[in-house]
Amino acid sequence: MKKCAIIGAGITGLSAAYYLEQESPDFEIDIIEASGVPGGKIKTYRKDGYTIELGPESYLGRKKIMTELAADIGMKDELVVNNTGQSYIYAKNKLHPIPGGAILGIPTELRPFITTRLISPIGKVRAAMDYIIKPKPMNPDVSVGAFFRRRLGNETLENLIEPLMSGIYGADIDKLSLKSTFPDFKKTEEAYGSLIKGMRSSRKETKSAPKQGQFRQFKNGLQSFIERLAEVLVNRGVTIKYNHKVEAINKTAQGYEVTMNGETHFYDSVIVTVPHTVFKDWFKDGPLDYFQTMKTTSVATVVMAFDESQVNNKANGTGFVIARNSDTVITACTWTDKKWSHAAPKGKTLLRAYVGRPGDTVVQDHDDAAIVKLARQDLDKMMEITGEPEFSIVTRLYNSMPQYEVGHIDKIHTIQHYVSTHYPNLVITGASFEAVGLPDCISQAQKAALKIAHR
Ligand code: FAD
């Protein structure tokens, strides 16, 4: 039997094991995990009727692979969909409803865009110039900021698009690679000569579909998905070695020597799924040196639970993101009890805010109490809150958001080619590569597993 080591038991590592075992049951699979639990960044707090995500919050339902995997492991009936509601942008010291029809900030309906106070009249005229500005070749890549500034102007970018897009990547929009994150916008520009025209046309096609939440979760939280996946793997003969920290991976004539907790074990194949901040110490040759300088952002989630009588929230909706030009420490907040019916007991208000932007050191510089205080000072600007929370939880995720700067995806393709020619039977994958979303991690894991199975 061939032996495969999968390094890391986050969602990427666990799903890689799932697809490898399914595709080629004669592999002996060891998942090697430094911590004592599976899931990596995924952590759910489940207590006293609360189901609160401390890391990622949900996944995009249109990326079907995660729903399919959930069904495969018997969790179809545990899936839940978010409640839809108005989302807001905090800009110019005020919460503004996101104009109706805006797709990731790109306006597709005239009236809501004309009436929004997020953008000045001059800013709106500038955005309308999108209809006449000619497409420009993207040679070879451009930042998301530069692309949208050119098409729609600085104001629409800064007050509408940036808060929605950069939050997903915890990134500086003027460094974030368009080709690595939102390449479809470039295709739309080229096909229609105008982003607004193109987005309006694709919106017409989906408008007739019934309005349903676009995010998915599990009634017992994302961690329940991880626990079930780990259980299924163990039942199928996969070994998960918890509290085993990989220190080195060395290529030999026959395969790979993986050193963990001071001991070296031989494997025929290896799938590496740890973040690049970890594997950059194991692979430095050729184009892999890119990971020595690839940046990350540290973020923290700040959860506060209140009795609903303590919070007077005039904005009726599911949450808000914050324009970068605002003077706040938090970058976004979800009114979690409104967005997810399963998250809090009746009568409670659950706020979940994010802290941490590229270049700031709030997460590193402050203790939990100080972070809660800073978040609370910001939240007091957006709603009336009296008294202290029943409880608060700060979860720090250091260096957790890999930064896909301009040119990223081309470098990744070069690296993937290099690894496949210089490291037979080894794949490096995960969120530092092609995409960060949970379903994207599963897709990348599936690709890695199929590569190993069919070599
Ligand atoms: P990880 O989860 O980082 O797992 C890597 C594993 O490797 C860990 O278990 C770690 O302990 C282990 N490990 C590390 N070093 C070693 C070693 N030396 N030896 C052995 N094991 C090791 N995506 C969404 O789709 N929706 C969201 O709502 C969302 N929100 C997010 C919010 C935050 C705050 C962050 C940071 C990310 C969010 N993401 C979201 C992105 C998504 O959570 C991540 O991209 C994804 O969880 C990464 O999974 P992974 O398995 O690749 O890596």
Per-residue pLDDT of 298-343, as tens digits, reads: 999 999 999 999 999 888 899 999 999 899 999 999 999 999 999 9
Instruction: Give the residue whose CA is nearest to atom 37 of ligand 1.
Output: 56
Among left, alpha and beta (phi > 0; psi -120 to 50; other), residue 102 is beta
3-state secondary structure of 2: strand
Structure-token pair, residue 35: 């911590």
Instruction: Give the residue whose CA is nearest to atom 34 of ligand 1.
Output: 55
Q: Which long-range contacts (CB under 8 A, 24 or more apart) does 229-233 make?
A: 229/14, 229/15, 229/18, 229/38, 229/69, 229/73, 230/9, 230/14, 230/38, 232/18, 232/73, 233/14, 233/17, 233/18, 233/21, 233/29, 233/31
Report the C-alpha gap between 395 and 104 in whole angstroms.
27
Read off the DSSP letter of residue 82: P
Q: What is the pLDDT of residues 149-197, one digit of tens each?
A: 999 999 999 999 999 998 889 999 999 999 999 999 999 999 999 999 9
Query: How many CB atoms within 10 Å of residue 101?
Result: 17
Distance 76 CA to ligand 1 centre (A): 23
Query: How many CB atoms within 10 Å of residue 388?
Result: 12
Q: Which of 7, 19, 41 to mutate to test the pocket of ligand 1 (most atoms within 8 A of CB)?
A: 41
Distance 13 CA to ligand 1 centre (A): 10
Report the C-alpha gap between 94 and 141 in whole angstroms.
35
Let me know the angle formed at the C-alpha of 404 by 158 and 214, rounded to the nearest 5 degrees. Answer: 65
Q: How confident is the model at residue 206 (pLDDT cuts 50, 70, 90)?
A: low
Distance 41 CA to ligand 1 centre (A): 4
The number of CA neighbours under 13 Å toward the Cβ of 23 is 18
Report the C-alpha gap between 416 and 421 in whole angstroms.
9
Let me know the angle formed at the C-alpha of 332 by 331 and 333, rounded to the nearest 5 degrees. Answer: 140
Report the C-alpha gap between 67 and 76 in whole angstroms.
7
Distance 37 CA to ligand 1 centre (A): 13
Q: What is the pLDDT of residues 386-403, one digit of tens each?
A: 999 999 999 999 999 999
Instruction: Give the residue whose CA is nearest to atom 3 of ligand 1.
Output: 40
User: pLDDT at position 195, please?
Assistant: 93
What is the interface pTM, i.e. ipTM, of the complex? 0.99
Report the C-alpha gap between 448 and 419 in whole angstroms.
12
Distance 273 CA to ligand 1 centre (A): 9
Distance 334 CA to ligand 1 centre (A): 21
> Considering the entire predicted model, what is its pTM?
0.96
Cα-trace Rg, the chain:
23
Distance 435 CA to ligand 1 centre (A): 12
Q: Return the percentage of the chain with pLDDT > 70, whole number.
A: 98
Q: Which of 63, 261, 274 to mutate to test the pocket of ligand 1 (most atoms within 8 A of CB)?
A: 274
Nearest Cα to Cα of residue 84 among 317, 308, 314: 317
| Ligand 1 environment, Cβ below 6 A | 7-13, 32-35, 40-42, 55-59, 245-246, 273-275, 278, 299, 301, 397, 400-401, 430-431, 436-438, 441
Instruction: Give the residue whose CA is nearest to atom 46 of ligand 1.
Output: 438
Closest atom, ligand 1, to C-alpha of 58: 28
Distance 134 CA to ligand 1 centre (A): 40
Closest atom, ligand 1, to C-alpha of 401: 36
Q: What is the pLDDT of residues 389-447, one digit of tens each?
A: 999 999 999 999 999 999 999 999 999 999 999 999 999 999 999 999 999 999 999 99
3-state secondary structure of 436: coil
3-state helix, strand, coil in the chain (%, to 5): 40, 25, 35
Q: Which of 436, 443, 446, 447 to mutate to test the pocket of ligand 1 (most atoms within 8 A of CB)?
A: 436
Instruction: Give the residue whose CA is nearest to atom 23 of ligand 1.
Output: 437
User: pLDDT at position 210, please?
Assistant: 58
User: pLDDT at position 341, please?
Assistant: 95
Q: Which long-range contacts (CB under 8 A, 24 or more apart) does 37-40 make?
A: 37/242, 38/9, 38/10, 38/14, 38/226, 38/227, 38/229, 38/230, 38/240, 38/242, 39/9, 39/10, 39/11, 39/222, 39/223, 39/226, 39/227, 40/8, 40/9, 40/10, 40/11, 40/12, 40/13
Distance 10 CA to ligand 1 centre (A): 6
Instruction: Give the residue whose CA is nearest to atom 16 of ligand 1.
Output: 34
Closest atom, ligand 1, to C-alpha of 429: 52
Nearest Cα to Cα of residue 331 among 358, 356, 297: 356
Closest atom, ligand 1, to C-alpha of 13: 51
Instruction: Give the residue whose CA is nearest to atom 39 of ligand 1.
Output: 56
Distance 400 CA to ligand 1 centre (A): 7
Which residues are within 8 A (CB) of 88 and not within 5 positions of it... i.e. 6 or more apart? 95, 96, 97, 98, 315, 317, 319, 320, 321
Q: Please list, residue by residue across 294-315, b when 16 or more beta carbons sit within 10 angstroms of its beta carbon and e when fewer do.
A: bbbbbbbbbbbbbeeebbebeb
CA distance to 95, 117, 302, 349, 350, per residue, from 305 (Å): 21, 31, 10, 6, 5
Closest atom, ligand 1, to C-alpha of 439: 25
Q: What is the pLDDT of residues 249-292, one digit of tens each?
A: 999 999 999 999 999 999 999 999 999 999 999 999 999 999 99
Distance 154 CA to ligand 1 centre (A): 33
Distance 159 CA to ligand 1 centre (A): 29
User: pLDDT at position 205, please?
Assistant: 63
Distance 201 CA to ligand 1 centre (A): 36
What's the average model confidence in pLDDT over 67-96?
95
